Structure formats: structure tokens, C-alpha cells
């Protein structure tokens, strides 16, 4: 019973660590190949840092932003990411499409906010349109994985553990094979006599 539990626990840990290693490896490779902005299915992955769009988009979620859109096709109800100032990007829902003397503008509001945003969004400030990818809480992992401590804990340590575990399994297999050969030898000698 104890051996079965240990084997089950060992297999479960292996599956978890291999999965984690593959996810982190994929994230690192994606970041490197896309100049630090990971993409999937043509959507740039972004982390949401506020709860203004909850419950639809939770704090810490990773969302997909599609940068291939036609600003003229944006409509009330669409979710967009726009640049509020030099360092702040906001993801809010369009509540109204305005046409001010031929100048297209968008009134926006976070679903969880009481009031609409103070300023209308100009088309040139729109970074992209929400593309439908929404994975809650994984943004915390992505941020951590992009830090030097995160790379160490999520990539290097599981990798070393898997290598050590593989070496242990190979050594155990060789020992079992040797033991089996020793057990088989006397049987061969008895049959020959």
C-alpha cells in the first residue's frame, strides 16, 4: 500500500513539474521571440492590474489584445485597451461612440466603476481590442516568471529536480536489471546440469 501511494505521488509530482516546466519554457520562449510581448493566436497577452472590469475580467488575469482592428468598426459594448498616459494602459468597455465634428472618440467605463472615464478616448490612443482570451490569475504567474527569482524557481529548480529524478530512475532501472540477471543465472545453470 505504501509503495503504491509513493508511486502515485511520484507520478503526480512528475506530471505537475513537467507541465509547469513546459508552461514556463513556452512563456520564456514566447517573450524572447516576440520582443518581450508574448502573443498567442495573433493576440498580444497583457496582464490586468486593476479590478475595474470585474467580474468579467479579474485582477491578475491575462487577456488577449488584438491589434488588427478597424477603429471605424468599434461599437458600444466592445472592450478596448487604450493608453491613458505615458505609462498607463487601461482596459475598459466602450459605452458610447462619439462623432465630434468628424473626430471619432469613444466614451469608456470600467464595468466595476461607478462613473464613466473622465476623458473620451481618441483613436490614436487605442492600443487594441479585447480578443476574447481571458485567463484569470495567470498574470501573477507571468509577472513572477518574468522576474529573475521567478525564472530561478519556475524553470531552473524544476529542471534540476527533473534531471535528478531521471538519473535516480535510470540508476534504479539498472539495479533492477542487474538483480534480475543474478536471479536468472542460477536457473540457467540448474537446467544445464
* The pLDDT value given to residue 36: 58
Helix (H) or strand (E) holding 120: none
* Domain ranges, ordered by start, for the chain: 1-36+148-173, 38-136
CATH architecture for the domain at 38-136: Ribbon (2.10)
CA dihedral 61, 62, 67, 70 (to 10 degrees): -40
> 58 pLDDT exceeds 60?
yes
**Digit-coded pLDDT (tens) for 172-186:** 878 888 887 777 766
Distance CA 94, CA 69 (A): 15
* 50 is an active site residue: yes
Q: Which of 10, 19, 34, 50 is catalytic?
A: 50
pTM of the model: 0.61
List alpha helices for 42-101, DSSP H: none
CA angle (165, 170, 173) in 5-degree steps: 125
Burial code (b: 16+ CB inside 10 Å, e: under 16) for 68-88 equals: ebeeeebeeeebbbbeeeeee
* The pLDDT value given to residue 95: 95
Which of helix, strand or coil describes residue 69? coil
What average pLDDT does the chain have?
81
Which of helix, strand or coil describes residue 72? helix
List alpha helices for the chain, DSSP H: 2-33, 138-146, 148-151, 157-192
Provide the terminal-to-terminal Cα distance of the chain, rounded to the nearest Å. Answer: 41
Joined grid coordinates for residue 187? 536457473
**Digit-coded pLDDT (tens) for 6-39:** 677 777 877 877 777 677 677 666 665 656 567 7
Amino acid at each position: 500500500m505504501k509503495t503504491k501511494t509513493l508511486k502515485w505521488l511520484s507520478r503526480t509530482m512528475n506530471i505537475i513539474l513537467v507541465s509547469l516546466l513546459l508552461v514556463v519554457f513556452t512563456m520564456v520562449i514566447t517573450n524572447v521571440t516576440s520582443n518581450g510581448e508574448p502573443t498567442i493566436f495573433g493576440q498580444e497577452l497583457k496582464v490586468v492590474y486593476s479590478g475595474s472590469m470585474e467580474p468579467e475580467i479579474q485582477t491578475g488575469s491575462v487577456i488577449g489584445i488584438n491589434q488588427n482592428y478597424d477603429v471605424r468598426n468599434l461599437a458600444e459594448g466592445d472592450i478596448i485597451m487604450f493608453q491613458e498616459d505615458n505609462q498607463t494602459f487601461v482596459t475598459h468597455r466602450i459605452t458610447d461612440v462619439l462623432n465630434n465634428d468628424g473626430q471619432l472618440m469613444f466614451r469608456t467605463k470600467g464595468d466595476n466603476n461607478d462613473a464613466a472615464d473622465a476623458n473620451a478616448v481618441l483613436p490614436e490612443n487605442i492600443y487594441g481590442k479585447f480578443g476574447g482570451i481571458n485567463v484569470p490569475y495567470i498574470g501573477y504567474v507571468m509577472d513572477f516568471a518574468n522576474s529573475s527569482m521567478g525564472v530561478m524557481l519556475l524553470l531552473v529548480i524544476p529542471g534540476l529536480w527533473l534531471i535528478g529524478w531521471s538519473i535516480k530512475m535510470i540508476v534504479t532501472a539498472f539495479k533492477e536489471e542487474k538483480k534480475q540477471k543474478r536471479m536468472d543465472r542460477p536457473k540457467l545453470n540448474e537446467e544445464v546440469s
